[in-house]
Amino acid sequence: MSRIIKLSFLFIVAFSMITLSSCDEDGGGGGGGGMDKIKRKGAAKVKNKLRREIRKITKGLLRTSASDKLGDLQVKEEYEILGFEPSWTLLDGNKPFESHYYNLLTTLVVGGYDLNPKTGEARNDAHRDAPISSGAVKLAQEKNENLKVLYSLSHYGDFGKDLLKQRQNFESFLNNTELQGAMLEKVNDMIDTIRADGLFIDFQNIPSNSISNYIEFMKLAREKGGEYLGEDYIIYTRLPTNEREKYFSEETIKELENVVDLFVIKGFDNISIPKPGPLAPLHAKDRIDIDSLVEYYLANGVRKKEMVVEFPLYGTVWNKIPGEENGWVQAGEEALPYRDIIKLAKTGAVYPTKDSSYAFFPFPDRNEYYFFDDKKTFHGKFSWIDENELGGIGLWALGYNKYKGKKMWESVASIFAIPQVVLVPSILTYILIFIMMSFGYSVVRYWQVRNFLNKKRSYLIYFVAGIIVVALLIFVAAYLLPRGKLQGMRIAGLMIIMFLLFPMARKYFVTLRRWV
């Protein structure tokens, strides 16, 4: 019902904006080109929302059942599941984004716009435009009509080779509101083009003396976004977690809570000196762990349901140097994609740790050791998120799990997903309740019905049988749809009960007639 009300409201808003636009075109008003641009953008956004709501309702009406298959599930309402799809995975020629289970995501973060702090431009044009050129956003929105899409804006303080100048460049940008405004205009144009819902801001290594300027930038981002999408504009941000930088203070968090809709904690790779072991440990002594990060930010004002913990879909490979007790060196690429780890894990025994911190498997003959998360360890960590009632999880990066791999998605679904809610059973329930009430109302309200049943008592049994059948159908529609694996057995049982009740009821009313 709430969806119908929302759809009606969108119709009214769309009609009003179209009417206002037509008045302006006929010469009524002189708001200027800027105002016309805002109206056009607003009308286009409402139109897109209206289209998506109509498609949602239509699909819901046509869906008659739900199943527990991976592709038929939906995320529980109380959780956020973020999927990160950076530009370099969007531009992968194998198009890994085509095989994701978008129904198990609530938000897709794409992009993006890696900032050049000197000019405000993107450092890589191909990466900036990847959400458009790849077609990934359009595909994701077609597969999940409820999916929110955020465009990524990032800066890690790594522009240029001179460390001192990097810091100076970042400080200069955060102090230049004119440059920020011009940059945000370009970013919001991209958001408008791909029909996204807002912005994911990932600024790391922020100079400590520029935190106040950073907060002002976040406020400006909210203001500029509001000019495009109004109150519907979404801003998520990734909090600092690395031991090389200071965490945000309670005062900073308090300021940001007025601007940011959701905070993401990077739960992996939070060490200054690489060493073998878990990338994303729940509890650890030799590195920053998820538990301590969550505890810190909860103590400093972040609400549980506004906090999402981000997990990696990759692992690392380490070589043990023979003869040296602590001699380790990282082998090959910095990140070993999840899809490759799963293939390698099939060649030998995988050893999960007791606390589900990580899994590893060794190749002793090559002195190689692989550290990663598998289905079992993911399940343990996701269960921890659920038990602590946090907002949800993030997955970095989805492209690491391509080629239709299901194991990771199964871990997500086991904790955060349920069968999709369908509209047909609900509508059927209301119709049947209406019919049931009509039976009773007709007898109480109309003397003609009472006289007819009194004179034609042979029809009374059919009247009562009809009430029983409708009551059973209400029970089926309200409580057994959508159904799980036992649906056939349940329906068969109800049919048997109905056939047993009917002759019993008939015998009862025949006996009753003799006494009346």
Residue 34: predicted pLDDT: 52
Residue 486: predicted pLDDT: 38
Element (H, E) at 110: strand 107-114
Q: Which of 446, 494, 426, 439 is nearest to 466 (CA)?
A: 439
Question: What is the Cβ-side half-sphere exposure of residue 182, based on CA atoms within 13 angstroms?
Answer: 13
Give residue 28's identity as a one-letter amino acid code.
G
3-state secondary structure 299-312: HCCCCHHHEEEEEE
> Terminus-to-terminus CA distance in the chain, angstroms?
46
Digit-coded pLDDT (tens) for 313-325: 998 888 888 777 6
Residues with Cβ within 8 Å of residue 514, at least 6 apart in sequence: none
Give the global pTM.
0.74
pLDDT along the chain (516 residues), means of 10: 51 52 46 54 63 61 62 91 96 90 96 94 96 94 92 89 80 96 96 94 92 97 91 94 80 96 93 78 87 95 97 88 75 72 72 72 78 88 96 94 78 91 65 75 79 79 81 73 44 54 60 56
